[in-house]
Amino acid sequence: MGAEKAGGRLLVLGWGNPGRRDDGLGPAIVEELARMEIPGVTAESDYQLSIEAAADLAEADKAVFVDAALEGPEPFQVRRLEPSATISFSTHAFGPESVLAVCEDAYHRVPEALLVGVRGYDFDIAEGLTREAQANSRAALEFITRLIQDWKEGRTWQQANWEKRS
């Protein structure tokens, strides 16, 4: 109970379209995390981020957003998120920074939030992750579970040893 209290309420949000091969990385990782049933962690996934996610964020102390990355380092990259009210006409451009901004405006609080961008390779219409994306998914899931443990033990993400992932 003490370790859980130190880490607070943790939310993991993954999004993407599993019908577009590696675009399904976010939901695949979050679904695997949900199967682990880690106490104090809420894991949710959807095809895209929506304004409704702000209500869930308002209840969290820390949040991890998980999405497929078209480019960038393998197996994944991590960056801290800040609220940014950059909401465009298309809902496809409604990113995690925008959801955090809605949370801040509506609920007057924002959890500490990170984005884990997992490198994908094939985004054509088809089901199932590529072999390379599956390997990146495993590495990202391992990182996220270590991060959750670090947070539960009261360490900040900067104090966590995630830079040394292999």
Domain membership of residue 48 (yes or no) is yes
Residues 6+ apart with CB under 8 A from 82: 97, 100
- Residue 13, domain extent: 2-158
Q: Which two tokens stand for residue 40?
A: 């104090």
49 domain residue, yes or no: yes
In a domain, 166, yes or no: no
The tally of domains found in the chain comes to 1
Tell me whether residue 165 is in a domain: no
9 within a domain of the structure (yes/no): yes
Tell me, yes or no, whether 60 lies in a domain.
Answer: yes
Whether 45 maps to a domain, the answer reads yes
- Identify whether 72 is part of a domain: yes
- CATH number for 16: 3.40.50.1450
Task: Tell me how far apart the alpha carbons of residues 47 and 92 are, in angstroms, rounded to a whole number.
Answer: 10
The two most distant CA atoms of the chain are separated, in Å, by 46
Residue spans of the chain under pLDDT 70: 1-7, 87-93, 158-166
Asked whether 150 and 41 are in contact (CB, 8 A), the reply is: no
> Quick one: angle between helices 131-152 and 25-36, nearest 10?
50
Question: In the prediction, which pLDDT does 90 show?
Answer: 46
Q: What is the pLDDT of residue 156?
A: 77
